[in-house]
Amino acid sequence: MVAGPTLAAMTDLLRRGRASLAFGFLAQGVAFALLVTRIPAIQDRYGVSDALLPAFLAAVPVLAGVGSVVTEKLVRTVRPSRVLRWSQPVVLLALLGVGLGQRMVVLAVALAAFGLAVGALDASMNMLGVSLQRTYGRSIMLGFHAAYSLGGVLGASLAWAGAHWELALWVSYLPVVAVLLPAVLVGSRGYVDGDPAPAEGKAGGGGVSFRMLLPLCLVMAFAYIGDSTVSNWSAKYLQDVLGSSEQLATVPYNVYMVTTLVGRAVGDLGVRRFGAAAVVRAGALVAAAGFAVVAGASGPWLGMGGFTLLGLGLCVLVPQTFAAAGRLFPGRSDAAVARLNVFNYVGFLVGSPLVGALGDAWSYRGAMLVPMALVLVTLVYARSFESEPDRYGGGHERSRTADVGRGGNGL
């Protein structure tokens, strides 16, 4: 008589935890897009020179890496749900600080807070996603990242509206923060820390071996080199190399974001049907084909087709890399995710300068072949994604025990 209600309560808890975490991913997508898509306006507001701008931009991922490392230490004594619950408001308030400030020192402090909090947020958010996937017993990580992509589309659209109507930064940011801040605080009460995994699997329950984690770190970095290539160079490439209009040059990144959303929305079904390794291999091949089309495109519309393929291919790599780290180190998944997350920022830092330097020294068409080659290296490491437990099949949630007492609604 007791087992039925207990199972029903557990199922409801997990569903609320999944929905709450998905909203957290969405909110982060909105916030990050609002920052990166308004960089020209931020530069104008604070009078940041073109020479100084790269230093400001590089500081964010560097500090985010620091935040991720600190989070690895922090979650030894503090639940990941609490780290996520309090880092997300800091991200939103830092974003508002960027919009409200007028002096360069305010911008520096706001971006520093944003970077550190983003590192903690990204790490803890994916820790919860990995543990929830383990508790569910089937692939759900791509769905969380689909919510992030949806937030990115919404944030970019809001940024476009702000730029179109020539709104001050604080006017663009304040309503968004006013809506999202209370929403994420309320939503965070539904966060669920999954149960600690038993010491099983390839790496058992011991420490995180960097040698074993390295293939996934490389895949993460290569995926973000590809992603940063699209976000930073697609508009310039379409306009300067393929001869498009300035207006048309803004389209590829939007198309890329939409196809990323679509690919992630259906990706979990592919993982359940074919397995994570097969989906990663397919994603790497599609992404490489996209770069090849972009490099050889004879006109802007063909180039746009290449960027469309890139979104469909790259979108599966990052979520599956986090999931693979959780499977590889079942007893130390939080530490593995935190360390892996650092290579998110490594790829972001390397990608844009690498393509820019190669484009200036060689050609931008040739530069597109470099991220293509790096993405293809993923095929070499695809075996790191193999794991029978991730091919759950049948669409049934596996009834593992979640630690109800570790929900994120405590203070």
How far is Cα 64 from Cα 28, in angstroms, rounded to an integer?
14
- Above 80 in pLDDT, residue 250? no
The upper half-sphere exposure of residue 346, i.e. CA atoms within 13 Å in the direction of its Cβ, equals 13
Looking at the DSSP assignment, which residues form a beta bridge with residue 192?
407
The average pLDDT across 61-71 equals 96
Q: What is the model's pLDDT at position 391?
A: 41
Domains of the chain: 10-191 (1.20.1250.20), 200-394 (1.20.1250.20)
Find, among 180, 94, 82, the residue nearest to 125 by Cα: 82
- Above 70 in pLDDT, residue 389? no
- Above 80 in pLDDT, residue 335? yes
Q: What is the model's pLDDT at position 403?
A: 45
Q: For 201, list phi and psi in degrees, rounded to 5.
A: 90, -170
pLDDT tens column, 27-38: 999 999 999 888
Q: Give me the percent of the chain exceeding a pLDDT of 70.
A: 90
Mean pLDDT (the chain, rounded): 88
* Residue whose token pair is 């999202």: 180
- Above 50 in pLDDT, residue 178? yes
Which segment, 161-170, 226-235, 261-270, is predicted with the most confidence on average? Answer: 261-270
- Above 90 in pLDDT, residue 202? no
Q: Which residue has the higher pLDDT, 207 or 271?
A: 271
Helix, strand counts (H, E) of the chain: 16, 0
Q: What is the model's pLDDT at position 237?
A: 92
Provide the residue type at 372 as one letter.
M
Q: How many CB atoms lie within 10 A of CB 236?
A: 14
284 contacts 173 by C-beta, under 8 angstroms: no
Q: What is the model's pLDDT at position 53?
A: 85
pLDDT tens column, 100-145: 999 999 999 999 999 999 999 999 999 999 999 999 989 999 999 9
Supply 280's token pair: 């990663």
pLDDT tens column, 283-294: 999 999 999 999
> Which range among 15-24, 78-87, 229-238, 245-254 shows the weakest confidence by mean pLDDT?
245-254
